[in-house]
Structure 1
């Protein structure tokens, strides 16, 4: 009976550490946390972050990663296969969290600077100069930037973890999961065709205007 109760308690605790990060991930951020000043390539610009997430989410994700690893260590004395599975899964989660905490992974934030468009997503860093932008196609999952030259990509994680849907000599996809409902189409058209307008990127005026649009949309 005690063993059964202990098993139920372990399962309940495991379900809790899984449910809490999911619940925190649905938290809606305020506009001033979604649109901020950011830097890319040494230039200051406007950073557009995912609209959902909670400050405690990374900490709880670390708890999950370490808990899964600890569960594997617990099984070492009774089941080698279970121990190997949980330890491998836990170490993989630890690696993902380390990459996220160290800034190697990125969360899909799009930064618009006077030089161009920048995104770091799942370890794939892409930069597209404004002079290379031909247009933007919006799909349910991605912004596809059409270019006149091959986009520059840097992998900060293994390539199989940071594969983009589109990456060709004349286009690159920027995943838009959880990004806010801003008029990206019009923004990209403006800054790619008007060098004079790019100077406002990163200024308080441009950021406040974007936050206002986001607040109205919300």
Structure 2
């Protein structure tokens, strides 16, 4: 990620020196975000096929009220998303300033003057949710009570006695679905952000976990969830070092 940021910064400086047109600067601001997005998509799509359990660990105090096993979301994906959002907001700001400075020269500047602020508003709102913890890096957490999926902007929980099956999903993107029965008296999903929607919410009471977001490879995510769903007796070890050693025997 650092090389992409350096490339974007160098391009931005070069553009400002060679072309004072703010629209060229806007293009330079979009470049690092575009490159980072492409790199993250490639890295998360072409996943390793071998079982790599390095991202399986015990839960932390701030993640769960019960000790358990955690499969955290990818840190590069989270950081890359923030960088792309910052690039979008910055480029929208440049386009807005340029649009108002050239207002009336042609129809394109009029459109930019009124449409670009939408990008600024979106950036401010989403950064506000990030600052307040409403949008944050999530995790899949297994405790003796059930499965908790803390996604980017929502929390979902399924108790073990409601789990029917754990199955892989390949379309429209790779994911793992925890098929579950409705739990009376408990909301299946709690949304933390009003502005950032996630398609996983509409699948409640089932859990839909995108393998592009979780740091562990898809095969690991599927194996961990399926093992504890099939064998209730093993759930007693969740939250202990024994659960981690089960998946990292050489650690």
Note if 1:48 corresponds to 2:62.
no
8 Å CA contact 1:135–1:188 kept in 2: the answer is no
Q: Extract unaligned runs of 5+ from structure 2.
A: 1-15, 45-51, 103-108
Residue aligning to 1:38 = 59
Shift of 1:84: 2.7
Note if 1:18 corresponds to 2:33.
yes
Residue in structure 2 matching 1:77, options 72, 95, 101:
101
CA distance in 1, matches of 2:111, 2:161: 55
Q: 1:55 to 1:27 in 2, by over 3 A?
A: farther
Note if 1:92 corresponds to 2:107.
no
Residue aligning to 1:114 = 144
Rg larger for:
2
Please identify runs of 4+ aligned residues in structure 1 that moved more than 4 A: none
Shift of 1:113: 1.7
Note if 1:142 corresponds to 2:165.
no
Note if 1:5 corresponds to 2:19.
yes
Shift of 1:174: 2.4
Greater strand fraction, Structure 1 or Structure 2: 1
In the superposition, the TM-score normalised over structure 1's length comes to: 0.73
Q: 1:54 to 1:156 in 2, by over 3 A?
A: closer
Q: How many aligned residue pairs are there? A: 210
8 Å CA contact 2:138–2:149 kept in 1: the answer is yes
In the superposition, the TM-score normalised over structure 2's length comes to: 0.65
Q: Extract unaligned runs of 5+ from structure 1.
A: none
Q: 1:132 to 1:54 in 2, by over 3 A?
A: closer
Shift of 1:147: 1.5
Shift of 1:163: 2.9
Q: 1:188 to 1:5 in 2, by over 3 A?
A: closer
8 Å CA contact 1:122–1:161 kept in 2: the answer is no
Instruction: Tell me how large the CA RMSD over aligned residues is.
Output: 3.7
SS in 2 for 1:48: strand
CA distance in 1, matches of 2:82, 2:122: 16
Say which is worse superposed, 112-121 or 47-56, in terms of deviation.
47-56
8 Å CA contact 2:75–2:137 kept in 1: the answer is no
Residue aligning to 2:227 = 190
Q: 1:55 to 1:130 in 2, by over 3 A?
A: closer
Residue aligning to 1:202 = 239
CA distance in 1, matches of 2:192, 2:67: 22
